[in-house]
Chains A and B, each alone.
Chain A
Amino acid sequence: MKDASDRFEVRLAGSGGQGLILAGVILAEAVAIYDGRNAIQTQSYGPEARGGASKSEVIVSDGRIDFPKVMLADVLLALSQEACDTYFHGLKPKGLLVVDSDLVERAPTSKAVGVPVTKMAIEATGKAITANIVGLGLIGGLTSVVSRQALEKAVTERAPKGTAEMNLKALAAGWEKALEIKEASRSVRPGPRRRES
Chain B
Amino acid sequence: MTMPRMMQGNEACAAGAIAAGCLFFGGYPITPSTDIAEHLARELPRVGGVFIQMEDEIASMAAVIGASIGGAKAMTATSGPGFSLMQENIGYAAMTEVPCVVVNVMRLGPSTGRPTSPSQGDVMQARWGSHGDHPIIALAPASVLECFEMTVRAFNLSERYRIPVIVLIDEVVGHMREKVILPPREDIKVLERLRPSEPPEWYKPYGSSPSDVPPLAPFGSGYRYHITGLHHDEAGFPTNRVNEVRPWTRRIFRKIKANVHRIARCETDGVEDARTVIVAYGSVARAASEAIKTARAKRRKVGLLRLQTLWPFPTRTVDAVCREARRVIVPEMNLGQMAIEVERIVGDRKVRRVNRIDGEMITPREILDAIEGK
| Pair from one complex | yes
Query: What residues of chain A have their CB less than 8 Å away from a CB belonging to chain B?
Result: 1, 4, 25, 28-29, 32-33, 38-47, 65-69, 71
* A69-B4 CB under 8 A given contacts A32-B179, A45-B116: no
Contact B116 A25 (CB under 8 A): no
- Complex CA gap A146/B127 in Å reads 45
Which one of A28, A38, A47, A66 contacts B289 once the chains associate, using CB atoms below 8 Å?
A66
Could you tell me the distance between the alpha carbons of A65 and B176 in the complex, rounded to whole angstroms?
12
Query: Quick check: A47 and B31 within 8 Å, CB to CB?
Result: yes
Contacts of B283 in A (CB 8 A): 68
A38: chain B residues at CB < 8 Å are 179
Within 126-177 of B, Cβ neighbours of A (below 8 Å) are at: 172, 175-177
Contacting residues, chain B, for A1 (C-beta < 8 A): 293, 297
**CA gap between A42 and B171 in the complex, in Å:** 10
CA A67 to CA B366, docked complex, whole Å: 13
Write the chain A residue with the least CB distance to B291.
A67
Contacting residue for B293 out of A4, A29, A42, CB 8 A: A4
Docked Cα-Cα span, A45 to B359, in Å, equals 12
Q: Is the CB of A66 within 8 A of B290?
A: yes
Q: Is B275 an interface residue (CB 8 A)?
A: no
Interface size class of chain B, counting residues whose CB lies under 8 Å from the partner chain: 20 to 34
> Which residues of B, 80-119, contact A by the 8 Å Cβ criterion?
114-117
Whether the Cβ atoms of A43 and B293 lie closer than 8 Å is: no
Distance between Cα atoms of A41 and B179 in the complex (Å): 10
Given contacts A1-B297, A47-B31, whether A67 and B287 have CB atoms under 8 Å apart is yes
- Which of B178, B361, B365 is most buried by chain A, counting CB atoms within 10 A of its CB? B178
Q: What residues of chain B have their CB less than 8 Å away from a CB belonging to chain A?
A: 4-6, 31, 114-117, 172, 175-179, 283, 286-287, 289-290, 293-294, 297, 361, 363-365
26 CB contacts below 8 A, A to B, read A1-B293, A1-B297, A4-B293, A25-B6, A25-B177, A29-B6, A33-B4, A33-B6, A38-B179, A39-B6, A39-B179, A40-B179, A41-B178, A42-B172, A42-B175, A43-B175, A45-B116, A46-B116, A47-B116, A65-B178, A66-B289, A67-B289, A67-B364, A68-B178, A69-B361, A71-B363
Interface class of chain A by DSSP: mixed
Tell me the nearest residue of chain A to B289, going by C-beta. A66
In the bound complex, what is the Cα–Cα distance between A44 and B364 (angstroms)?
Answer: 18
**Further contacts, 5 of them, CB under 8 A, given A44-B117, A67-B289:** A33-B6, A41-B6, A66-B289, A68-B176, A68-B286
A23–B287 CA distance with the chains assembled, in angstroms: 25
Does the CB pair B5–A33 fall under 8 Å? yes
Instruction: Chain B residues near A40: list those with CB within 8 A.
Output: 176-179
Closest A-B pairs by Cβ, 6 of them:
A67-B290, A66-B289, A41-B177, A32-B179, A66-B290, A29-B6
